[in-house]
Amino acid sequence: MGYPHPSHPRETVVLSKHFGDPAARTFQGWVQRGGYQAIRKALEMGREPLIELVKQSGLRGRGGAGFPTGLKWSFMPKDDGKPHYLVCNADESEPGTFKDREIMRWTPHQLIEGCLIEAFAIRAERVYIFVRGEFTEIFPILEAALQEAYAGNAAGPNIFGSGVNIDIVVHRGAGAYICGEETAMLNALEGKRGNPRIKPPFPAQAGAFGMPTTVNNVETLAAVPHIVNNGAEWYKGLALGNPKSTGTKLFSVCGHVQRPGNYEVTMGFPMKDLIHDLAGGMRPGRTLKAVIPGGSSVPILTAEEAEACLMDYESIAEKGSMLGSGGMIVMDDTTDIVKTIWRYTKFYAHESCAQCTQCREGTSWTARVLERIIMGQGRTSDLDLLLDLSEQMTGKTICVLSDSCAAPVVSGIRKFRGEFEAYLSGSRAPALQVV
């Protein structure tokens, strides 16, 4: 549902069915709502059929990368005798995205159950839920839910009498967007600076504490119990056309819409309808100007592109952007595109871990050039400079933070060049004072 708004009839409510319902937070409440059936089913099913089921369902990572989940699970070794780990990525920090927080604060048991199922499948006896430090409201909720889960024998030793042990630990982050990158998260877990690691080795070979590990997003994990309960065909059926993008997705719609919130729709849903119908459309007298469909790290779409777009991985990619985390930032005609992009580059410059030269220096430089432009001190050569810097920052680093900084810059200049030129020519007044 588009919490805090009531469910829209055109939503397909699966993960968000109980958003806004405090009773769903408790163990009993969750059981009453059909919870903790899937884990029992999974335990009976066995690991290989379970992994196959998830593969068949077409579930893809909902954190942003869209990697096929079942395939990721299958990378874990079967008989190596080493401890395996599941790390749940609850570091949600991608600007525009606010779905995982809702899953955790309304339906923590949905997440816990997903963790249990995956942990069983990948032979992990310990799950770390890595929650970003700023989620202060969520920690007590999650801890309480875990206590209940342990008390109800759903977590801990010998869950539901199955002989399987699964321990779940909440690990608190301390303020770093980069920890949402899976290998940086593993470093933060291990008590190190949150620097992304070079791959190979991949986490399934050497992850947390050097052991085979799988990292999955909260929303991905939350979908798992439903897939186990209802089957792969059901999940695949929740796709409006493109067979490679199945199931539902929580789209976090924010910015210039009347009803910002999380909307759960099937993959392939028309973006135009999501914005103008479900999310209430523009404020009075305003028109749509631009949309960032998947969190600030993906290219910007013009209004025309957005309104012609279906929301699945492939369709958005065809339009030159990415579905990413599904954080939809909607911008109307009051938006200063250049200033908005500048503020994104400041974000990336703040969050760069400092390992790679291009990212460490380039994010800051990009932000400074844009700052000069909106101060009215830009030069005509600045646009080519920005494009050149963005080229240098793309495809050349350990992780994609610098690519993410470049994406809005490149797409912004390409699609809204006029706005930049207005600043450069002086026909637009500076948005910032010269300091």
How many Å apart are CA 218 and CA 352, to the nearest integer?
Answer: 23
Which of positions 343-372 make contact with other proteins (CB under 8 A)?
Answer: 343-344, 347, 349-358, 360-365, 368, 372
SS3 state of residue 185: helix
Give residues 182-201 in contact with other proteins (rule: CB under 8 A): 188-194, 198
- Of 270, 250, 279, 276, the C-alpha closest to 262 is 250
Q: Give me the 248-287 binding string for other proteins, x by CB under 8 A, dash otherwise.
A: ----xxxxx---xxx-------------------------
Pick the binder of other proteins from 101, 123, 272, 319 (CB under 8 A). 101
Q: Is omega for the bond preceding 200 within 30 degrees of 0, making it cis?
A: yes
Site for other proteins in 205-244 (CB under 8 A): 209
- CB closer to other proteins, 74 vs 345: 345
Cβ proximity of 119 and 85 under 8 Å: no
Residues numbered 7-66 forming contacts with other proteins, rule: CB under 8 A: none
Cite the beta strand spans of 94-178 per DSSP E.
Answer: 124-131, 167-172
Tell me which stretch binds other proteins (CB under 8 A): 55-63, 92-100, 114-122, 145-153.
92-100
Rg of the chain, C-alpha, whole Å: 22
- Using the minimum distance from each CB to other proteins, give the nearer residue, 214 or 297: 297
Binds other proteins (CB under 8 A): choice among 8, 17, 73, 100: 100
- Interface pick for other proteins out of 136, 158, 258, 287 (rule CB under 8 A): 136
Report the candidate in 84, 73, 83 with the shortest Cα–Cα distance to residue 118. Answer: 73
Q: Do the Cβ atoms of 22 and 282 come closer than 8 Å?
A: no
Q: How far is the CB of 26 from other proteins (least distance, A)?
A: 21
Are the CB atoms for 408 and 300 separated by under 8 Å?
yes
Q: Name the residue nearer to other proteins (CB basis): 153 or 364.
A: 364
Nearer to other proteins, 97 or 246 (CB): 97
Quick one: which of 169, 287, 317, 425 contacts other proteins (CB under 8 A)?
169
Burial of 170 (0-12, 13-18, 19+ CB in 10 A): middle
Give kind and range of the element (H or E) at residue 315: helix 313-318
| Cβ 318 vs Cβ 291: under 8 Å | no
CB of 114 or CB of 327, closer to other proteins: 327
Task: Name which of 31 and 385 has its Cβ closer to other proteins.
Answer: 385
Compute the least distance from the CB of residue 418 to other proteins, in Å.
Answer: 19
Total residues at the site for other proteins (CB under 8 A)? 80
Torsion of CA 172, 174, 179, 182, to 10 degrees: -20
Q: How far is the CB of 398 from other proteins (least distance, A)?
A: 7
List the one residue from 132, 226, 249, 428 that touches other proteins (CB under 8 A).
132
With CB under 8 A as the contact rule, which of the stretches 36-44, 90-98, 155-163, 231-239 interacts with other proteins? Answer: 90-98
Separation CA 86–CA 42 (nearest Å): 16
Cβ count near 122 (within 10 Å): 25
- What is the per-residue binding string for other proteins in 380-419, x denoting contact by CB under 8 A? -----x-----xx--xxxx---------------------
Residues in contact with 263: Cβ distance below 8 Å, sequence separation at least 6, in sequence order: 1, 2, 8, 11, 250, 251, 253, 274, 278, 279
Name residues contacting other proteins, limited to 284-313 (CB under 8 A): 296
Which of these, 84, 69, 90, 99, lies nearest to 179 by C-alpha position?
Answer: 90
Closer CB to other proteins, 27 or 177, in the complex: 177
- The closest of 99, 419, 50, 412 to 252, measured between CA atoms, is 99
**Is the Cβ–Cβ distance between 15 and 59 less than 8 Å?**
no
CB of 137 to other proteins, least distance (A): 4
| Binding segment toward other proteins, per CB under 8 A, in 33-41, 58-66, 213-221, 336-344 | 336-344
In the complex, least distance from residue 366 CB atom to other proteins, rounded to whole angstroms: 11
Position among 61, 63, 64, 173 found at the interface with other proteins (CB under 8 A): 173
Give the one residue of 92, 264, 312, 419 binding other proteins; rule: CB under 8 A.
92
Kindly indicate which of the ranges 16-24, 29-37, 241-249, 342-350 contains the residues binding other proteins, using the contact rule CB under 8 A. 342-350
Q: Whole-angstrom Cα distance, residue 134 to residue 176?
A: 10
Is residue 176 a contact residue for other proteins (CB under 8 A)? yes
